Structure 1
Amino acid sequence: MKTLRLLLALIALSVVAAPVLADRLKDLARIAGVRNNQLVGYGLVVGLDGTGDSAPFTNQTFRNMMNQFGVTLPPGVNPGLANVAAVTVTATLPPFAKPGQEMDITVSSIGNADSLRGGTLLMTPLKGVDDHVYAMAQGNLVVGGFGAGGADGSRITVNVPSVGRIPNGATIEREVNSPFNEGDTITFNLLRQDFTTARRVVEAINDALGPDMAYAHDATSISVRAPRDPSQRVSFLSILENMTVEPAEAAAKVVINSRTGTIVVGKNVQVTAAAVTHGNLTVTIQENPEAVQPNPFTDADTVIEPNTQIAITEDPARMFQFGPAVTLNEIVQAVNQVGAAPGDVMAVLEALKTAGALRAELIVI
């Protein structure tokens, strides 16, 4: 125990002396096996102000619920409920969650309900992918959307009124087993896979803890030998995740959002020697129909004759040259001098990539 305390103290000193610009290990990686789990359930929302749905499964679910309370509806009778809606309930079960704790839930209509505003979710079991119940949900909905309609059929909707949330609306009933306390090692998975970053993480841990304490499996996973005692493992990991490591620079990339016209050029993007020219071609079409009056002494009718004028103008294209090993700043300056629009810049970058002059990965989203 004394040896472990001394080791943790030495690690803490090394963390304080780490470079300021480096990132903490907790920001670079996640612990393998420590993860969220998705839960889903099906239930009923009641108490709506005539904005419920009329789906057949809603009536069936309502009948089943009434039978559980000892109330039997006559067969063949459609309840025709306007204040009830069938919904799905979704939640994210965090790691290390214990029975009795609460979590937020999202309630979404699956029928034709107009709004869930003012509704109350009845007790709904939330299941995981293994079909086990991990939480029970119930409560009053908070709906941010709003809708209103007129007698003539006009309608206006703000946000989405068919989706709501219940803060702390679910109580956890079952704990998910975690491999955190199993085995002799703890494995970190990098958020961005990179061989250089993985090597630097291993070197930083081995420098602080001793040789062969950490080793990398690949560009993503790094395993660290850890104590088996849960209390010691928590203290050990608390120091370990605050160690700072300088991550490797990302690969050269140019990201283009074709919908918004956004272009992001990475730091290490370079362009080899190339000359680029890009002109604007404008086509203008004007329709000027003319009415031709007939001879007043004849029975002819007035005739509309089409008169179409087509003009093509091409703005003078300016050529600019990229030298070898151009930096990001020089690329931006060249584009700004030409005054190209985002669409033109996209075309230039794609052409440079096709010509082999753009030393970067071109990603279009």
Structure 2
Amino acid sequence: MKAVIKITLILSGLILSTASYAQRIKDAVDVAGVRTNQLIGYGLVVGLPGTGEQSPFTEQSFKTMLSNFGITMPENLKPKIKNVAAVAVHAELNAFKKPGQTIDVTVSSMGSAQSLRGGTLLQTILMGIDGNAYAVAQGSLVVSGLGAEGLDGSKVVVNTPTVGRIANGATVEREVASPFAHGDHITLNLRKTDFTTAKRLADTINDLVPGVARALDAASVQVDAPRDISDRVGFLSVIENLEFEPAKGSAKIIVNSRTGTIVIGSEVKLLAAAVTHGGITVNINELRDVSQPNAFAEGETVVTNQSTINVTQSDARMFVFEPGVTLDTLVRAINGVGAGPGDVMAILEALDQAGAIRGELIII
């Protein structure tokens, strides 16, 4: 029995139909200066059931911790600390987090510890990129993974037992200064840069309050804002809930050669070409019909497209199609006869090399 490989095909033009959907401004932009900040620290996890590690930097960290409590260990004494592990602790400090509030932390083993399950993180200072301390982490770890090892060396590991999390495990000690409350304007940065989208965003805001928004480039729109912080928050609350229609994306074809996934943008078009590949013949004809209402009837004259596709599998190995046909029509025809992902990718590359694709072919 011959196996047929199905091609994962995502057609943005079919998913979105012929209409674009409006999007809230808050879902498309970031406010300049309102961002998260990464924190990192080095600490010790204790209380492990013999799954810790014995390494020079773990011993040094252990001795340093004891010396902070006034306990001095002899230099020639090497403690057996299999219930201790050296770990890296990292977290993200969200914008406007105040001192006394808490954030989640992730704890990862840095050495040869077998598991962090059952361990407790001791007080760990979390630093920012500027070298200042912004939070202090401590608490019991929640570890989803586990590991087991037999005397003969056999081992079973489920998930990752050397990484754990502590919900609300760090207390914020310092607030990150934000430029949001300063100046006479706020800047909205598009998450997907596009000149048309930036202009439409500015026009939408100006429709509400004329003349306050201007597009600076393909990524940023500057908006005049009240100086009073309370008024500024209220103004931004109204702005971010406005809906506008982003521009359609550029014509692109994304091909994942490892998974056989093909993503085709709705703006991709084909020029006239013929491709010989395998034993599949695809004929595509594109016709346009004009629908016109009667003289005394209400309505509008519209032009409709009709595609006729004939697919045969024979010795005549030729793909023939007319200019202006969308690429998804060709790929669907190839899928209909059970062609594999490699066949479609080879055809796309050949069409791109021949200059028959109006769009960018990206292979990842």
2:327 aligned with 1:362, yes or no?
no
Give the secondary structure class of the aligned counterpart of 2:106. Answer: strand
Q: Which residue of 2 aligns with 1:81?
A: 81
* Contact 1:268 1:328 (C-alpha < 8 Å) held by counterparts: no
**In structure 1, C-alpha distance between the alignment counterparts of 2:318 and 2:78, rounded to whole Å:** 74
Q: Considering only aligned residues, what root-mean-square deviation do their CA atoms show, in Å? A: 1.6
Q: How does 1:251-330 map to 2 (within 5 A)?
A: 251-279=250-278, 318-330=317-329
* Contact 1:318 1:338 (C-alpha < 8 Å) held by counterparts: no
Q: Which residue of 2 aligns with 1:297?
A: none
Q: Which residue of 1 aligns with 2:194?
A: 194
* Contact 1:279 1:317 (C-alpha < 8 Å) held by counterparts: no
Q: Which has the larger radius of gyration?
A: 1
Matched AA of 1:335 = I
**In structure 2, C-alpha distance between the alignment counterparts of 1:136 and 1:87, rounded to whole Å:** 15
Q: Which residue of 1 aligns with 2:103?
A: 103
Matched AA of 1:169 = G
* Contact 2:44 2:122 (C-alpha < 8 Å) held by counterparts: yes
**In structure 1, C-alpha distance between the alignment counterparts of 2:54 and 2:258, rounded to whole Å:** 38
Ranges in structure 1 where 5+ consecutive residues have no aligned partner: 1-18, 281-314
Q: Which residue of 1 aligns with 2:234?
A: 235
Give the secondary structure class of the aligned counterpart of 1:193. Answer: coil
1:224 CA drift (Å): 0.5
Ranges in structure 2 where 5+ consecutive residues have no aligned partner: 1-18, 280-313
| 1:120-179 superposed Cα distances (whole Å, 9 cap, x missing partner) | 000000000001000000000000111111110000111111000000000000000000
Larger relative contact order (CA 8 Å, sep ≥ 6)? 2
TM-score, with structure 1 as normaliser: 0.83
Q: Which residue of 1 aligns with 2:288?
A: none
Matched AA of 1:359 = R
2:246 aligned with 1:247, yes or no?
yes
Matched AA of 1:240 = I
User: Aligned residue pairs: how many?
Assistant: 312
* Contact 1:270 1:325 (C-alpha < 8 Å) held by counterparts: yes
Matched AA of 1:31 = V
Q: Which residue of 1 aligns with 2:4?
A: none
* Contact 2:331 2:344 (C-alpha < 8 Å) held by counterparts: no
1:328 CA drift (Å): 4.0
1:329 CA drift (Å): 3.9
1:259 CA drift (Å): 1.7
**In structure 2, C-alpha distance between the alignment counterparts of 1:259 and 1:268, rounded to whole Å:** 25
Matched AA of 1:186 = I
Matched AA of 1:256 = V
Q: Which residue of 2 aligns with 1:207?
A: 207
Q: How does 1:340-351 map to 2 (within 5 A)?
A: 340-351=339-350
Q: Which residue of 2 aligns with 1:12?
A: none
Q: How does 1:21-170 map to 2 (within 5 A)?
A: 21-170=21-170
TM-score, with structure 2 as normaliser: 0.83
**In structure 2, C-alpha distance between the alignment counterparts of 1:333 and 1:59, rounded to whole Å:** 63
**In structure 1, C-alpha distance between the alignment counterparts of 2:117 and 2:124, rounded to whole Å:** 18
**In structure 2, C-alpha distance between the alignment counterparts of 1:360 and 1:76, rounded to whole Å:** 70
| 1:251-305 superposed Cα distances (whole Å, 9 cap, x missing partner) | 111111122121111111111111122228xxxxxxxxxxxxxxxxxxxxxxxxx
